[in-house]
Structure 1
């Protein structure tokens, strides 16, 4: 009998997939966040309802990789210079929100009978906000670059940074409470090791990562780049965890250090699919961890505490942001996004239990409170956002949208053709983004001052990451005919408002591009050959105007013939394009004359062919 034990991992995977594909579309259909769909699916398949998955802790370690990858992608969006420019919001609003929220929540927990150490653990855990939920909601709204979105991110960033000292404080509190000799010294030593690990990651990112990815890029193996990206992210996360800090902290540092790299958007495109799947799995794990029996036993306490927690965090964040010159609307929208407890509550609270700062029941109630706030927080944010947006003037929204920094032109391919195209744009100071997968071309483009993204321009995720959807024109300057047509097809479907200008390899390719409804196409050798012909006519005695008149006549004749071939090709057959061969645009004065017998033989052998082509190059 065949051994089928190797299929034992399939049932839980199928369960997670089924829960996601059923719950998420239902919640999105009624206008709610996908996060709520994942949480609800986790509750239903978890041990409290159907018990399809009986041990949510078994998958939480894997699911937390989703949060790790999320923080890496967040770091990729933050060049060190931008991070420095946000220092006031990070250290000002972020520190104030964390200190005030943790202080009040901790004081309330102490008043309810928790020890000082337990109150600090609960205060820190519940003061944190759900980075994944807030960023997911911002992404769904498309508000990441709005003023309130940037300020929300600043506070979230401070919270993520504060996880490291929070993880160090709890062991210090435990050792102080238990009065273990040398305990404080051990905790401080651990903190020193943590800072050393951070220094290692910073130095590696500064001097190793870019040369490392440059070497891999030269191999041309895309799967190796994906493996390298996962290796860097998970390696940095593992190092941080090993020294007692947050895995997400290591991933975030790796992202920041690669934010100025030419390979940034290729890495983002490679990581994004893993991030999406594992982040959804994380939310389902949070839902599965909710003990409904415990909730029912303490329903009155949780029914009062969860809404109060959400409203309190909204009030704190909104007050701080309003005091820092944000409008009331922006402050409240940001506060609503920050209202749910954070993912790291499920790290800090179990740590507090293991250190003896909380007993099992206290830890379970606090964990349930965090999970319930993650359920109701997005709903409250949705309601508040709907109310506030209904009152916003359209012109205010338009003003806020300005300054996103979208590229005016995206150029795919920086070879000999793309380089000449961008020279004209450079002279007019046009905002240009260049996409290329050749390392040497990327280095060349860096001299022009353009935004440069290492990546495969035929991939939709790379086009999106490079800002193609917000560009005015997409210039397709590659010499691969099939790849150019694939890009046109994708761009037409995904970016209907972007003009498409395409380099045509030859006449047949130009007709194919016309059929694909590009806004403009140009055969790569056509205009240069006409220019060459004009100078040749001048060499034969014609003046510039006379030679130019002849060339304009040739250009007009060729355009007419191209239009006829384009129309007749469609009328003749849906899937058949006539073979195109060179043909004179005007009747020659005499017959061609072969100068050798071999040439005459070649002409006679090919005489039966039908010439339907146009002027110019022998079609390739």
Structure 2
């Protein structure tokens, strides 16, 4: 028990120390976990820890991750992705396998070994890529969805690869370190191992159908039954039981547990229990994924790596460059361009965690000798270590190159109206409708192609372009306009446009959207005097409804709301002059002291006003 606690403490401390440091320097949590594993590797060896056995356990984090990804993908959306799945995914797997097989043949390997190497290195790391894309909020981008499509096909491709590897066995390797075991690809019992191929295929199809049936017909009644007990921990236990049960079923028929979990997640994507399942499983997924990355870092054989590091670095570079070129060609052929293509190519050129499974399976079936297997393991580990650095390259160098550059040229604005509205989303769109209903002509500019198309479908004319660009503003007639409504979504864009308009057009009335109270003070400091907090009015209405729910009639509730609003606006005006853009809002001592002073002065007055309002109805 003591040794287990020491091991758990060591791993947790390593993660707690390394991950925040890595994140602070922009390296991401994945690289932090990998470095933590490398740092504690000598200690794990000293404690006699079986890192490979720990990694098998930690791989369950990948299963949970794919289950959660499936929960966010409705079947209709998955069907809409079928082109990417078969085209991008299938093309990448086949072409990469052939390319690396060819390189293996040029390196004088037998064709069986070369093909096995090609299959092992064709796969990418689902764990690293999805975790990193999710962290950086890129999973639902065009490049992120393309990468996910390839990963999903790769997970499916593991199945035929496991079936094909035993056929590549080389008799001369038996008794020379290979062929020790004939177990399935996941290191456990495979009930289909002794069946004819056609029957094994039917059993596996039946297992997938069973997962779909369980998701449709069994999960909802199960959770309704558990809900009757009104115990949160039972939901958590049930969620884990669902994922573990599906993983066990998939493993027993020789399929990827991660694939089964993904299918179950897709089936449950329309369930009313989707968010409950996701919130219950997320903490376990995060811990196990972190443990998995730590075991990858700790599993590196540094002694061997120091002896053959040139060979490892060379072949890791060959793998990354080869896969990058193939990804570039496949992505371009299927319509990816610019930053989406870069993200796609830089996400997937590494080898993945399934490579560890395939390498062990190949050794067990006399396809590789131990020396080649050790070299491949180091190559796989190095490519996985490099992946976070490729994401940093994308984030720091490539993505900024495309910021501010539209995918299409800005529209030519051929009218000058007294009102210019920057942004046509949920704020700007309503303002535009209100003004047009009152007979005012408006010029609406929006940078979102999707929002533009939606507006045009409903008959509203919107110009495509970046409203913060001075040339576009002049084309819209800002020098003659009476009103500029800044309804953009991003705080930085709002600030940029407000500063420019207030500075260069002092007679122009600027009405600006603010995201929160501190943003109001910041816009006030820029010189804007008509600032609307985006959630303020709706919050006041909610407060009014709360008054009514607690017994006030409508007239009293409206009066109480108005009294609070008047006091709040007066307080904001007095505090605004103390705002300093060089000092964080919550560290400005003078501002904080003023707020406390006003509260002490005005709270009793506010209470008297409220009591007076309540007494009117009596």
| TM-score (norm. length: structure 1) | 0.66
Is it true that 1:335 corresponds to 2:345 in the alignment? Answer: yes
Q: Report the CA distance between 1:60 and its aligned residue.
A: 1.3
Q: Report the CA distance between 1:28 and its aligned residue.
A: 2.0
Partner of 1:521: 543
Partner of 2:144: 149
Q: Against the structure 1 CA distance between its residues 581 and 77, is the aligned structure 2 distance closer, same or farther, given a 3 Å change threshold?
A: same
Q: Against the structure 1 CA distance between its residues 183 and 256, is the aligned structure 2 distance closer, same or farther, given a 3 Å change threshold?
A: closer
Q: Against the structure 1 CA distance between its residues 231 and 563, is the aligned structure 2 distance closer, same or farther, given a 3 Å change threshold?
A: same
**Would you say the 8 A contact 1:194–1:245 is kept in 2?**
yes
**Would you say the 8 A contact 2:81–2:149 is kept in 1?**
yes
**Would you say the 8 A contact 1:46–1:53 is kept in 2?**
no
Structure 1, residues 545-597: CA drift from partner, whole Å, max 9, x if none? xxxxxx5xx66655577679999998569999999999675xxxxxxxxxxxx
Distance 2:345 2:610 in 1: 68
Matched residue of 1:396: which SS?
coil
Matched residue of 2:544: which SS?
strand
When structure 1 is superposed on structure 2, of 216-225 and 284-293 the one drifting more is 216-225
**Would you say the 8 A contact 1:46–1:56 is kept in 2?**
no
Q: Report the CA distance between 1:49 and its aligned residue.
A: 8.7
The residue correspondences of 1:419-568 to structure 2 (distance < 5 A) are 499=535, 520-524=542-546, 526=548, 558=560
Q: Report the CA distance between 1:25 and its aligned residue.
A: 2.1
Q: Report the CA distance between 1:502 and its aligned residue.
A: 8.0
22, 38, 41: which one aligns with 1:43: 38
Is it true that 1:253 corresponds to 2:263 in the alignment? Answer: yes
**Would you say the 8 A contact 1:138–1:149 is kept in 2?**
yes
107, 114, 121: which one aligns with 1:119: 114
Q: Against the structure 1 CA distance between its residues 393 and 575, is the aligned structure 2 distance closer, same or farther, given a 3 Å change threshold?
A: closer
**Would you say the 8 A contact 1:47–1:54 is kept in 2?**
no
Q: Against the structure 1 CA distance between its residues 352 and 499, is the aligned structure 2 distance closer, same or farther, given a 3 Å change threshold?
A: same
Structure 1, residues 270-298: CA drift from partner, whole Å, max 9, x if none? 11111111101001111121111222222
65, 68, 77: which one aligns with 2:63: 68
Distance 1:565 1:114 in 2: 81
Distance 1:395 1:314 in 2: 25
The residue correspondences of 1:155-234 to structure 2 (distance < 5 A) are 155-174=150-169, 186-234=196-244
Distance 2:605 2:242 in 1: 49
350, 354, 366: which one aligns with 1:356: 366
Q: Report the CA distance between 1:529 and its aligned residue.
A: 7.8
Distance 1:229 1:333 in 2: 33
Matched residue of 1:290: which SS?
coil
251, 258, 270: which one aligns with 2:280: 270
Partner of 1:132: 127
Distance 1:18 1:104 in 2: 42
Q: Against the structure 1 CA distance between its residues 113 and 267, is the aligned structure 2 distance closer, same or farther, given a 3 Å change threshold?
A: same
Q: Structure 2, unaligned stretches of length 5 or more? A: 175-181, 183-191, 410-424, 428-488, 492-514, 521-532, 572-595
Q: Report the CA distance between 1:389 and its aligned residue.
A: 1.8
Q: Against the structure 1 CA distance between its residues 393 and 559, is the aligned structure 2 distance closer, same or farther, given a 3 Å change threshold?
A: closer
Distance 2:318 2:43 in 1: 25
Q: Report the CA distance between 1:260 and its aligned residue.
A: 1.0
Q: Report the CA distance between 1:117 and its aligned residue.
A: 3.7
Tell me how large the CA RMSD over aligned residues is: 4.0
Distance 2:40 2:258 in 1: 27
Partner of 2:79: 84
Matched residue of 1:521: which SS?
helix
Q: Report the CA distance between 1:11 and its aligned residue.
A: 0.5
Is it true that 1:301 corresponds to 2:311 in the alignment? Answer: yes
281, 288, 312: which one aligns with 2:298: 288
Q: Report the CA distance between 1:330 and its aligned residue.
A: 1.9
Distance 1:371 1:168 in 2: 24
Q: Against the structure 1 CA distance between its residues 63 and 574, is the aligned structure 2 distance closer, same or farther, given a 3 Å change threshold?
A: farther
Distance 2:386 2:198 in 1: 38
Q: Against the structure 1 CA distance between its residues 288 and 498, is the aligned structure 2 distance closer, same or farther, given a 3 Å change threshold?
A: farther
102, 107, 123: which one aligns with 1:107: 102
Q: Report the CA distance between 1:520 and its aligned residue.
A: 4.7
**Would you say the 8 A contact 1:45–1:52 is kept in 2?**
no
Structure 1, residues 458-486: CA drift from partner, whole Å, max 9, x if none? xxxxxxxxxxxx999xxxxxxxxxxxxxx
Q: Report the CA distance between 1:211 and its aligned residue.
A: 2.5
User: Across the two proteins, how many residue pairs are aligned to each other?
Assistant: 464
Q: Report the CA distance between 1:396 and its aligned residue.
A: 2.8
Is it true that 1:239 corresponds to 2:275 in the alignment? Answer: no
Q: Against the structure 1 CA distance between its residues 21 and 582, is the aligned structure 2 distance closer, same or farther, given a 3 Å change threshold?
A: closer
Partner of 2:591: none
Distance 2:226 2:426 in 1: 31
43, 50, 59: which one aligns with 2:54: 59
Distance 1:34 1:367 in 2: 22
Structure 1, residues 349-369: CA drift from partner, whole Å, max 9, x if none? 111111111111111111111
**Would you say the 8 A contact 2:15–2:36 is kept in 1?**
yes
**Would you say the 8 A contact 2:548–2:557 is kept in 1?**
no
Q: Report the CA distance between 1:385 and its aligned residue.
A: 4.0
**Would you say the 8 A contact 1:75–1:259 is kept in 2?**
yes
The residue correspondences of 1:403-418 to structure 2 (distance < 5 A) are none
Q: Report the CA distance between 1:393 and its aligned residue.
A: 4.0
**Would you say the 8 A contact 2:560–2:610 is kept in 1?**
no
Distance 1:195 1:309 in 2: 33
Structure 1, residues 154-201: CA drift from partner, whole Å, max 9, x if none? 1111112222222222234449999x9x99964544333222211111
Distance 1:83 1:280 in 2: 28
Q: Against the structure 1 CA distance between its residues 572 and 29, is the aligned structure 2 distance closer, same or farther, given a 3 Å change threshold?
A: closer
**Would you say the 8 A contact 2:124–2:349 is kept in 1?**
yes
Matched residue of 2:543: which SS?
strand
**Would you say the 8 A contact 2:112–2:367 is kept in 1?**
yes
Q: Against the structure 1 CA distance between its residues 583 and 27, is the aligned structure 2 distance closer, same or farther, given a 3 Å change threshold?
A: closer
Matched residue of 1:9: which SS?
helix
Q: Report the CA distance between 1:212 and its aligned residue.
A: 2.0
